[in-house]
Amino acid sequence: MGSFAIVPWLLFLFLAPVIMAAAPRKPIDVPFQRNYAPTWAYDHIKYFNGGTEVQLTLDKYTGTGFQSKGSYLFGHFSMRIKMVPGDSAGTVTAFYLSSQNSEHDEIDYEFLGNRTGQPYILQTNVFTGGKGNREQRIYLWFDPTKDFHFYSVLWNMYQIVFFVDDVPIRIFKNSKDLGVRFPFNQPMKIYSSLWNADDWATRGGLEKTDWSKAPFIASYQGFHVDGCEASVSETYCATQGKRWWDQKEFQDLDGLQYRRLQWVRQKYTIYNYCTDRARISTMPPECKRDRDV
């Protein structure tokens, strides 16, 4: 658990140069209602500051969630989230993009709750054509329950990049040339939810949700959407011309970002499906490319 130490000032200096590299800085005062709507258990969502902050509540009866009003084909999407504090074992706070049909594409952040004093685990996953099982897990280099932090996705024809406070923690490159499907033609909605998953979320289901600690609350701000809305047709976005996320500087990470990604991998990664030979006997093709990162 030593890797969970709170960030020293030297780490701030180490990370600071990358802050503007992921995309233009996101506004933090976008009202929830502009781009999102609740999906279930409306009474478990509370609104503050004119709708620029919301809280999701989980109790023993239900969790809750919301989704974007539109569907998007490529872009940059982010949320500022403050995780459930204290004993959150068994809970999952999710932020993800997903298409709608059976062979769906999906880009996942799942924050797995903890027993008090233990670190949160951030699990990411990528589904293409209905196939997932591409989990990676990391510890964060800060306590995500103390303050809001940015969690963002950059998605274009070349790569999917997961960012935490604009620090890249994972990259999934377009490996169509290796026979790996890549999300490129199915618009996705954006979702977030807070729910009980104590059958698997904390230590593989060994730690159960302590309902005496309920209600569990996750807080959200900065409901940023900068994508191509595919409300008319799938081809509308593909033929609109170049957007900022298609430009050359966003087709790959730069050298500084790659160093930050390696730092995350070396210091904070605790599971990578690419190296799990007990579960996946043959290395998936995209992992061979990822190994060269």
Catalytic positions, written as ranges: 106, 110
Six-digit token pair at 239? 């033929």
Question: Cα–Cα–Cα angle for 114, 120, 126, nearest 5°?
Answer: 120
- The Cα–Cα gap between 83 and 9 comes to 23
Six-digit token pair at 88? 């959150």
First vs last C-alpha separation in the chain: 26
Q: Count CB-CB contacts under 10 A for residue 200.
A: 12
Strand bridging mode 149-155 / 136-139: unpaired
